[in-house]
């Protein structure tokens, strides 16, 4: 596989196809078993991350590799060797702001990265790669956490870099991204090279065929359901300084999409409903009865479940087995009279989910951390489905998943609706929200801008609302 200067080269492949390993080899994190790497025609050995840097290879990882205690500016410049022997904080701040400006992002560069959202953290990663004099830039799912607006901005930068002669290896599960930006497309499958073709010769269908080795249907479509009774009613929910005035109702079997740009505070609404960061004003009614949710235990009691957007940090206990993860919120059900865990029962229920959601793992005793992203997400879903929720909040459930896994998750969401569960879907991928939701609530900077029915929702209208271009907030309940 060859990567040319001034090209954007897309790399496609399902999770587990070997993309991440390829990145790790190129950035010197692991050593190859065989084969060679050439830079500018010279054979090189990328023995360490440092050597990769010297060769001008930089990577933006799918899971942000940030330093939570360092400031944004420091995160950007920590691995720079050319900034003199003494750290000039003022210059660093200015330069950091300049780099972020190129990305069109405004962040407080003095703030510790700990407090940033995943999206912002990823932006910092990109800024870090940009700030190094890169010749080869590897981007692993850079758009996964960005909203459409930011994606456009990013692509502008990527194209500019291409113009400067930088070779860009672009890895994404979003077909539309790939076709919008890539010059050439390479597909990997099961750790093997399958094909490299100019974009013009590739269609989404052919790419997917190469990736999965079979033909797949179009983007997912919901099967219609008949909504049942109102399960959840939210009136004027607010958390001081975070969001305010969120109101909606949700029926059994309905999917409510939460759309908005980064910083729209959608996740915070989810966290408030789940009791992690409780709301301090407003009312929540479940089955028309007012409830107080001050903790996740409260939420679980009334049948609200929540899957986090940060699967890596907050989703699973990696060293624990699949079964133990699945039963974590409901462990009490699997205890014998003496408080011992009934392993057989636990395994049985996990096995059930393994089959139902086709979790690919050797057994339910396998450590959750060893699974691929898609399968991890299915374990997370199993864990919460096992609480038999009435309301299921899914925060970015398909982030970082490949097409196959994504489709499976969509399938699951559809089934949830059919089973009469009320679903709140938080997603930055507008097509996903549009395709999956019955209604779409659009937020902007902590305020509810509009609620659309799926019939009246279009990409343009939602985006306009998310960017605040509606004259008055239209609240359609």
Give which of 410, 400, 399, 404 is closest to 221, Cα–Cα.
Answer: 410
| Residues 246, 231: Cα–Cα separation, whole Å | 16
Backbone angles phi, psi at 458, to 5 degrees: -130, 165
CA dihedral sign, ordered 222, 225, 231, 233 = positive
The interface with another protein within residues 458-477 (CB under 8 A) comprises none
278 binds another protein (CB under 8 A): no
86 binds another protein (CB under 8 A): yes
82 binds another protein (CB under 8 A): no
Fill in the DSSP letter of residue 223.
Answer: P
The angle at the Cα of 87, spanning 85 to 91, to the nearest 5 degrees, equals 120
**Token match 């990663």: residue?**
125
Closer CB to another protein, residue 70 or residue 470?
70
- Three-state SS at 310: coil
The interface with another protein within residues 290-319 (CB under 8 A) comprises 296-297, 299-300, 306, 308, 313-319
Question: Do the strands 255-260 and 439-444 form a parallel or antiparallel pair, or are they unpaired?
Answer: parallel
Which of 6, 98, 101, 110 touches another protein by CB under 8 A? 110
Shortest Å distance, C-beta 407 to another protein? 26
Which of 41, 340, 455, 471 touches another protein by CB under 8 A? 340
| Residues 74, 64: Cα–Cα separation, whole Å | 15
| Residues 51, 92: Cα–Cα separation, whole Å | 24
30 binds another protein (CB under 8 A): yes
Shortest Å distance, C-beta 226 to another protein? 31
| Residues 35, 363: Cα–Cα separation, whole Å | 34
**Token match 């925060």: residue?**
395
Among the candidate windows 84-92, 225-233, 285-293, 348-356, which touches another protein by CB under 8 A? 84-92
Among the candidate windows 78-86, 134-142, 143-151, 211-219, which touches another protein by CB under 8 A? 78-86
324 binds another protein (CB under 8 A): yes
* Positions that interact with another protein (CB under 8 A): 27-33, 48-50, 52-53, 59, 61, 65-70, 74, 78-79, 81, 83, 85-87, 89, 110-112, 128, 241, 274, 276, 296-297, 299-300, 306, 308, 313-321, 324, 328-329, 331-332, 334-335, 338-341, 362, 365-367, 369-370, 383, 387
């Amino acid at each position: 596989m060859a990567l040319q200067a001034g090209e954007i080269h897309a790399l496609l492949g399902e999770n587990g196809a070997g993309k991440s390993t390829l990145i790790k080899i190129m950035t010197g994190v692991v050593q190859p078993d065989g084969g060679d790497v050439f830079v500018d025609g010279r054979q090189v050995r990328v023995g360490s991350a440092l050597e990769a840097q010297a060769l001008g290879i930089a990577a933006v990882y799918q899971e942000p590799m940030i330093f939570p205690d360092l400031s944004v500016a420091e995160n950007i410049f920590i691995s720079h060797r050319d900034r003199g022997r003494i750290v000039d904080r003022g210059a660093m701040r200015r330069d950091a702001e300049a780099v972020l400006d190129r990305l069109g992002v405004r962040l407080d560069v003095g703030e510790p990265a700990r407090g940033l959202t995943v999206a912002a953290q990823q932006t910092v990663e990109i800024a870090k790669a940009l700030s190094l004099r890169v010749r080869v830039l590897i981007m692993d799912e850079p758009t996964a956490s960005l909203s459409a607006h930011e994606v456009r901005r990013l692509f502008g930068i990527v194209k500019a870099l291409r113009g400067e002669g930088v070779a860009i290896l672009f890895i994404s599960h979003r077909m539309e991204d790939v076709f919008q930006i890539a010059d050439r497309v390479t597909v990997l499958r099961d750790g093997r090279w399958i094909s490299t073709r100019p974009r013009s010769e590739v269609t989404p269908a052919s790419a997917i065929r190469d990736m999965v080795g079979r033909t797949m249907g179009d983007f997912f479509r919901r099967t219609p359901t008949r909504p049942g009774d109102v399960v959840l009613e939210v009136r004027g929910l607010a958390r001081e300084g975070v969001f305010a005035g969120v109101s909606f109702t949700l029926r059994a079997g309905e999917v409510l999409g939460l759309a908005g740009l980064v910083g729209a505070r959608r996740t915070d609404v989810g966290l408030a409903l789940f009791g992690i960061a409780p709301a301090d004003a407003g009312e929540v009614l479940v089955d028309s009865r007012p409830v107080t949710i001050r903790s996740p235990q409260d939420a679980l009691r009334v049948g609200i479940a929540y899957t986090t957007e940060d699967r890596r940090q907050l989703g699973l206990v990696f060293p624990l087995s699949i079964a133990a993860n699945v039963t974590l919120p409901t462990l009490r059900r699997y205890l014998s009279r003496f408080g011992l865990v009934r392993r057989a029962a636990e395994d049985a229920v996990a096995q059930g989910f393994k089959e139902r959601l086709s979790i690919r793992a050797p057994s339910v005793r396998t450590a959750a951390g060893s699974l691929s992203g898609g399968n991890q997400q299915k374990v997370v879903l199993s864990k919460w489905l096992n609480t038999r929720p009435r309301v299921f909040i899914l925060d970015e459930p398909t982030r970082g998943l490949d097409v196959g896994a994504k489709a499976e998750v969509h399938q699951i969401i559809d089934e949830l609706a059919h089973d009469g569960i009320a679903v709140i879907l938080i997603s930055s991928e507008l097509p996903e929200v549009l395709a999956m939701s019955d209604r779409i609530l659009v937020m902007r900077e902590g305020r509810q801008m509009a609620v659309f029915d799926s019939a009246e929702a279009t990409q343009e209208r939602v985006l306009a609302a998310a960017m605040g271009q509606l004259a008055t907030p239209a609240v359609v309940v």
